[in-house]
Homo-oligomer: A and B are copies of this chain.
Amino acid sequence: MPFVEKVLKDPVHDEIVVEDPWIWQLINTSAVQRLRRIRQLGTSYLTFHGAEHSRFTHSLGVYETMRRVLAYLGKEYGFPETERERKLALAAALLHDVGHGPFSHTFETIYPVHHEEWTKRILLEDDEIARLLAEVDDSFAEDLVGILSKRGKHRTIEQLITSQLDVDRMDYLLRDAMNTGVNYGRFELGRLIRSLALADGAVMLKESGLHTAEQYILARYFMYTQVYLHPVTIGSDVLVGNILRRAGELWTAGQLEDMPRFLQAFFVEQSAVSVKDYLAIDESTLLYAFRIWSTTEDKVLSDLAERFLNRRLLAPIVRSELNSVEWAALRTSARAMGFHPEYYISVRKSEVSAYVYRGSGISVLKTDGSRSELSMESRIVRSLIPDTEYRVFLPKEMVEGDHAVAGRVRSIIHQQG
């Protein structure tokens, strides 16, 4: 049977069009399908209940955005010149997140291999994906890895995939805004795409697209300040991290029986986890683990796991940094209430960085042919200098109520300049 173009309904782009059977086969690999079991926004759904969408839907959206970008660049700039380059761009878009694991960013604090590293290994080592990539030619997979590593060989595609004006952000800003139900975070996707220019192999912004780019940068600013770095979400991440840390320590010490088979490799020191091992885990593995740990003997682990599952999260306190005296006092207070400070008090610095001009700013191609940098052209963008928030997370019981400890903790917390 000849391949019939697939049109998938999508809440963001209305329709996602798959014209090429090879792309359809990539979508149907187990490595890509696994992304259906990993939420795009990690623990954000505990803050914004609608944020339940997966990395799979995002990956399709990035693919679709790239497809539209290429249609435009093809017409305007004759890019890409070859079918091979087109395939590189589309595959890079579809597969750029394939190495994400469950609650990736937090998981990386336990098993310190970055998800981008996994992405590359999967492209090269997963049988199914590698076979499909090799269908194009022998060096295709390597070139794809090169693009995701920004090695410079396919500079235009690299910038379209990863830069401050890339198809990844274009999709996720719109998709995350839509699913969380917030009204900000919108920009004109069609016009932003038409504002792209190619010059000297680099992706630039046409001067006429200045305001459209401002909208897009501001969408990022609002999503960061209001959604991505929401203190409740960060507190959930902290909890996941502490659960995994405690479980790992117990397991290594031989004090934990219930460690799901697929997770074990990640907790053996200096283990070499294989791609196959890695692809075997997804969010259901961790959620299942949390469930069994919630009934385990270790009081710290069972309590933390139960807190996560039932959304009794750690409370976020915005503070300037704690000094060592305050820090010691907090730990003492925690112990006084039976909370092991190592697992119940955490600090986290969150950085809002809607736009970074140093090194990698967005290039603006001006009408007269000269080049500039976006923050030079836009006062609004210039105003978005990175900002940091310092937060302390601890059990709500430590701050609320009439008891003496709570009083002491409250006084520590508010003792700031």
A interface vs B, CB < 8 Å? 1, 7-12, 14-15, 28-30, 33-34, 36-37, 45-46, 48-50, 52-54, 56-57, 60, 178-184, 186-191, 194, 211, 214-215, 218, 221-222, 225-226, 260-262, 280, 282-288, 291-292, 306, 309-312, 379-380, 382-385, 400
> Majority SS of interface residues in chain A?
helix
Partner of A190, one of B15, B225, B261: B15
Q: Which residues of the partner chain B approach A383 to less than 8 Å between Cβ atoms?
A: 379-380, 382-383
Other A-B pairs beyond A50-B57, A287-B288, 15, CB < 8 Å: A7-B191, A8-B49, A9-B50, A10-B50, A12-B181, A28-B310, A28-B311, A52-B54, A52-B57, A182-B188, A214-B222, A262-B292, A282-B291, A284-B286, A379-B384
Q: How far is the CA of A190 from the CA of B9 in the complex (A)?
A: 10
Q: In angstroms, how far is the closest chain B Cβ from the Cβ of A264?
A: 13
14 pairs of residues in contact across A and B, judged by CB atoms under 8 Å: A7-B190, A15-B190, A33-B311, A34-B309, A49-B56, A49-B57, A49-B60, A50-B53, A50-B57, A183-B189, A184-B188, A218-B380, A284-B287, A284-B291
Q: How far is the CA of A267 from the CA of B15 in the complex (A)?
A: 42
Partner of A50, one of B11, B48, B190: B11
Q: How far is the CA of A306 from the CA of B186 in the complex (A)?
A: 39
User: Quick one: copies of this chain in the complex?
Assistant: 4
Q: Is the pair B288, A14 in contact by a Cβ cutoff of 8 Å? A: no
Q: Which residues of the partner chain B approach A12 to less than 8 Å between Cβ atoms?
A: 181
Q: How far is the CA of A288 from the CA of B290 in the complex (A)?
A: 12
Q: In angstroms, how far is the closest chain B Cβ from the Cβ of A228?
A: 13
Q: How far is the CA of A211 from the CA of B185 in the complex (A)?
A: 12
Q: How far is the CA of A247 from the CA of B186 in the complex (A)?
A: 45
Q: Which residues of the partner chain B approach A11 to less than 8 Å between Cβ atoms?
A: 50, 178-181
Q: How far is the CA of A29 from the CA of B310 in the complex (A)?
A: 7
Q: Is the pair B211, A215 in contact by a Cβ cutoff of 8 Å? A: no
Q: Which residues of the partner chain B approach A53 to less than 8 Å between Cβ atoms?
A: 50, 52
Q: How far is the CA of A60 from the CA of B48 in the complex (A)?
A: 12
| Chain B CB within 10 A, most for which of A28, A260, A383, A400 | A383
Contacts A194-B7, A380-B380: A262 and B291 contacting too (C-beta < 8 A)?
yes
Q: Is the pair A287, B9 in contact by a Cβ cutoff of 8 Å? A: no
> Nearest CB to that of A49 among chain B residues?
B57
